[in-house]
Amino acid sequence: MKIRMPLIKTVGVCVALAFSSAAFAEEPIIVKFSHVVAENTPKGQGALKFKELAEAALPGKVDVQVFPNSQLFGDGKEMEALLLGDVQIIAPSLAKFDRYTKKLQIFDLPFMFDDVAALDRFQASPDGQELLNAMKSKGIQGLAYWHNGMKQMSSNQDSLVRPEDIKGLKFRIQSSDVLEAQFRQLGANPQKLSFAEVYQALQTGVVDGAENPWSNIYSQKFHEVQKTIAVTNHGALDYMVITNSGWWDGLPEDVRAGLKKAMAGATEYANQLAAEINDRDRQRIADAGKAKIQTLTKRDIAAWREAVRPVWTQFADEIGKDLIAKARASNEE
């Protein structure tokens, strides 16, 4: 049976629908970008640059909202929030993915990369780029790598030169099994804590030490609650900027292309700035005169390197020996 609708009513319904879809089309797509560090860090600056570039490229089409300092989600919750669609972009440290893929543990192996330039070469290589897709089956799409800097060991002791100097001390670590193994190997007690908890944990002696790049030490004032920072450069703190792959794939083509371009621009900007910010903050820490910066000799560094070497063997099967060899090769230009 045919249902007859009076013509005037049909036209009315069509007009109403057209108006409401036009209203929808004008609503910008909200892109929440949450992170855990301060704005005056490489990641903080990169996120703001992404907002600027994305909104300039897609005027009225996107509204990028940046939430620094664990304001929206701390690092314990942000991944879950991304998968639930409560936030669209986050940039966790590469140490925080082992629940989703073991491959990214490559970035946590101590003394894997001699410096950020080597790390950058590996990330730009086909193997490094492929790792951006390593969590696709879990609903996570990697968009870019962002640098922070090399990590330095710090503690509440007067001297921190040799690996045996941290024996028996409690160290805050990110949620990474490799980092846990690293500190166990050194005879220290690792404790997984979220980034927002670190200052207080150091201040109250819940932990004795930590490992951080200069920019995080300075922006979180860790140097005010540590006595010594040893220039160990024993690992890198770098990020993968990620999004929810369902959300990303469902974006209108032009919006996805615009965001991709904005991400490329923000990546270039943040990665150029990272070394500058870390150098600046190392100097600021020195000028503040609170924690002593202890430089190490080549022999001291060799002792640290030797002490943590078994961690590589421990994780070689999970990560893949081939991938480890390729990452090592990136140290040669």
**Closer of 152 and 174 to ligand LMR (Cβ):** 174
What is the nearest approach in angstroms of ligand LMR to the Cβ of residue 266? 16
What is the nearest approach in angstroms of ligand LMR to the Cβ of residue 36? 5
What is the nearest approach in angstroms of ligand LMR to the Cβ of residue 43? 6
What is the nearest approach in angstroms of ligand LMR to the Cβ of residue 197? 10
User: Counting Cβ atoms within 10 Å, is residue 305 exposed (0-12), middle (13-18) or buried (19+)?
Assistant: middle
Q: Amino acid letter at 51?
A: K
**Closer of 176 and 294 to ligand LMR (Cβ):** 176
CA distances from 76 to 181, 192, 193, 231, 311 (A): 20, 10, 9, 28, 25
Q: Is 194 helix (H, G, I), strand (E, B) or coil?
A: coil
For ligand LMR, the binding residues (CB under 6 A) are: 36-37, 75, 93, 148, 174, 195, 212, 216, 237
The residue at minimum Cβ distance from ligand LMR is: 93
Nearest in space to 187 (alpha carbons), one of 162, 212, 211, 205 = 162
What is the nearest approach in angstroms of ligand LMR to the Cβ of residue 196? 9
**Closer of 55 and 120 to ligand LMR (Cβ):** 120
Q: What single-letter DSSP state applies at residue 331?
A: T
**Closer of 68 and 258 to ligand LMR (Cβ):** 68
The answer to whether the beta carbons of residues 248 and 256 sit under 8 Å apart is yes
The answer to whether the beta carbons of residues 238 and 128 sit under 8 Å apart is no
For residues 306 and 264, what is the distance between their CA atoms, to the nearest angstrom? 38
**Closer of 69 and 125 to ligand LMR (Cβ):** 69
